[in-house]
Amino acid sequence: MTTTLITGANKGLGFETARRLVEAGHTVYLGCRDAERGRRAAERLGARLVLLDVTDDASVAAAAKTVEADGGLDVLVNNAGIEPRNPDNGVPGAAELTAELMRTTFDTNVFGVVRVLHAFLPLLLASPAPVVVNVSSGLASLTRVSTPDTPAHAYPGLAYPASKTAVNMLTVQYAKAFPGLRINAVEPGYTATDLNGRTGTQTVEEGAEIIVRMAQVGPDGPTGGYFDASGPLPW
Ligand SMILES: NC(=O)c1ccc[n+]([C@@H]2O[C@H](COP(=O)([O-])OP(=O)(O)OC[C@H]3O[C@@H](n4cnc5c(N)ncnc54)[C@H](OP(=O)(O)O)[C@@H]3O)[C@@H](O)[C@H]2O)c1
């Protein structure tokens, strides 16, 4: 029996990933920061709820204790994420970037990943086949964002892509540090969720595809990589 924790799973890509992994037979914990939203999602999916705010040390430590007491963890999907938006749903550009905006974004997208990984690492390392999926973005790719005449090049934001580039670096370095772990960064693709005011062009079913696939890699699967549904991506 595989036990899986997905952070930020009460809606969007995390919820769809949870739905598919429950279907595949995993015991799934939804790591949610809001008890009511989490309870409703868990009930709909037949999943377990663990309260978890990735920006809060005490909350993450308590969640790790709960999961440990219930028997441990095999798969961690670091999915919780935010993308700063202006009131008109536009993305704040270079002239609008402040240290505070950068800090808030990194607190969830980067420090959140480190906080959760650090707390759950002992549980993962006790698993016979531990797996981590870091939900990154195509905007993490320095190659893509610096290639003219591409959608990634046209994206004006700084905090969000910088945070996801940091997640990619964490992925590479954790993979080297823990060779027994399969840890990969994934790009779901531009998906209609609340994150982007539902402007994404893919459905959550399409977006969750690579997350679900990488959550199910075996001990011979890739590690330290960066993938979308069609294969490896340029860093
Ligand atoms: N949608 C896209 O086009 C796209 C593309 C590339 C990558 N991604 C990545 O995919 C992941 C999922 O995004 P999504 O599109 O599904 O967005 P979403 O629908 O807005 O879902 C984000 C989830 O993260 C949770 N969350 C935010 N801050 C949290 C915190 N501090 N602690 C715990 N949970 C927190 C939210 O919970 P609440 O409901 O409580 O706010 C929500 O469940 C993100 O990492 C995002 O960067 C998305």
User: In 3D, which of 9, 39, 49 has the Cα closest to residue 208?
Assistant: 9
| Tokens 């075996």, located at residue | 218
DSSP lists the bridge partners of residue 132 as: 76, 183
Q: Report the nearest atom of ligand 1 relative to the CA of 83.
A: 47
Q: Hey, which residues are catalytic here?
A: 160, 164
CA 39/CA 208 separation, integer angstroms: 21
Q: Domains plus CATH for the chain?
A: 3-232 (3.40.50.720)
Ligand 1 close to Cβ of residue 14 (< 6 A) = yes
Max Cα distance, the chain (Å) = 51
Amino acid 6: pLDDT? 99
Mutate to test the pocket of ligand 1, among 5, 7, 57, 82 (most ligand atoms within 8 A of CB): 82
| Rounded distance between C-alpha atoms, residue 182 and residue 202, angstroms | 27
Q: Is the CB of 113 under 6 A from ligand 1?
A: no
Pocket of ligand 1 contains residue 36 by CB under 6 Å: no
| pTM, 2 dp | 0.98
Q: What is the mean pLDDT of the chain?
A: 98
Could you tell me the sign of the dihedral formed by the alpha carbons of 39, 43, 44, 49, in that order?
positive
Atom of ligand 1 nearest to the CA of 56: 31
Who contacts 194 (Cβ-Cβ below 8 Å, separation ≥6)?
11, 12
Burial of 51 (0-12, 13-18, 19+ CB in 10 A): middle
**What per-residue confidence (pLDDT) applies to 63?**
98
Taking the centre of ligand 1 as the mean of its atom positions, its distance from the CA of residue 186, in whole angstroms, is: 14
Q: Which two tokens stand for residue 136?
A: 């990154």
**Residue 78 in contact with ligand 1 by CB distance below 6 A:** no
Q: Average pLDDT in the 52-75 region?
A: 98
State if residue 188 touches ligand 1 by the CB under 6 angstroms criterion.
yes
Average pLDDT of the residues in 135-152: 98
**Predicted local distance difference test score (pLDDT) of residue 37:** 98
- pLDDT digit string (tens) for 10-47? 999 999 999 999 999 999 999 999 999 999 999 999 99
* 134 vs 188: CA distance, rounded Å: 11
| Residue 39 vs residues 34, 73, 137, 205, 225: alpha-carbon distances, Å | 8, 20, 28, 22, 33
Strands (E), the chain: 3-7, 27-32, 48-51, 75-78, 131-135, 182-186, 226-228, 231-232
- Return the ligand 1 atom nearest residue 195 CA: 20
> Does the beta carbon of 11 lie inside 6 Å of ligand 1?
yes
Closest-CA residue, ligand 1 atom 32, reads 53
pLDDT of residue 167: 99
pLDDT of residue 16: 98
Note the pLDDT tens digit of each residue in 175-211.
Answer: 999 999 999 999 999 999 999 999 999 999 999 999 9
Q: φ, ψ for residue 121 (rounded to 5)?
A: -55, -45
